[in-house]
Structure 1
Amino acid sequence: MRCPYCGSLETQVKDSRPTEDASSIRRRRVCPDCGGRFTTFERVQLRELTVVKKSGRRVPFDRDKLMRSVEVAMRKRPVEGERVERMINGVVRQLESQGESDIQSDKIGELVMEGLRSLDSVAYVRFASVYRNFREARDFNTLIDELAGSDPAVEPEPEERTAKGRSPSRA
Structure 2
Amino acid sequence: MRCPFCGNIETQVKDSRPAEEHVSIRRRRFCPACGGRFTTYERVQLRDLVVVKSNGRREDFDRDKLERSIRIALQKRPVEPERVEQMISGIVRRLESMGETDIASKTVGEIVMESLARIDTVAYVRFASVYKNFQAADDFDKFVSELRPGDAVTDDKTEA
TM over 0.5: yes
Partner of 2:124: 124
Determine if the alignment matches structure 1 residue 43 to structure 2 residue 51: no
> Size of the alignment, in residue pairs?
155
The separation in 1 between residues aligned to 2:76 and 2:40, in whole angstroms, is: 25
The answer (yes or no) to whether the contact 2:20–2:85 under 8 Å persists in 1 is no
| Letter matched to residue 50 of structure 1 | V
TM-score, L = length of structure 1:
0.86
Q: What residue in structure 1 maps to residue 136 of structure 2?
A: 136
Report the Cα offset of residue 17 of structure 1: 0.2
Shift of 1:141: 1.2
Q: d(CA) in 1 for partners of 2:146 and 2:26?
A: 39
Runs of 4+ with >4 A deviation: 155-159
Q: TM-score, normalised by structure 2?
A: 0.92
Which amino acid is the alignment partner of residue 86 of structure 1? Q
CA positional deviation for 1:149: 3.1
Give the Cα–Cα distance (whole angstroms) in 2 for the partners of residues 140 and 111 of structure 1. 20
Deviation (angstroms), 1:21:
1.2
Q: Name structure 1 gaps, 5 residues minimum.
A: 160-171
The CA distance in 1 between the partners of 2:133 and 2:20, in whole Å, is 35
Judged with a 3 Å threshold, the aligned counterparts in structure 2 of structure 1 residues 104 and 130 are, in CA distance, closer, same or farther, namely: same
State how far apart, in whole Å, the 2-side matches of 1:20 and 1:53 are. 29
* Larger relative contact order (CA 8 Å, sep ≥ 6): 2
SS at match of 1:76: coil
Root-mean-square deviation over aligned CA pairs = 1.6
Relative to its length, the structure with more helix (as a share) is: 2
Letter of the 1:36 partner, please give it. G
Q: Percent identity?
A: 64
Three-state SS of the structure 1 residue aligned to 2:148 is helix
CA distance in structure 2 between the partners assigned to 1:26 and 1:39 by the alignment: 7
> Structure 2 unaligned runs (5+)?
none
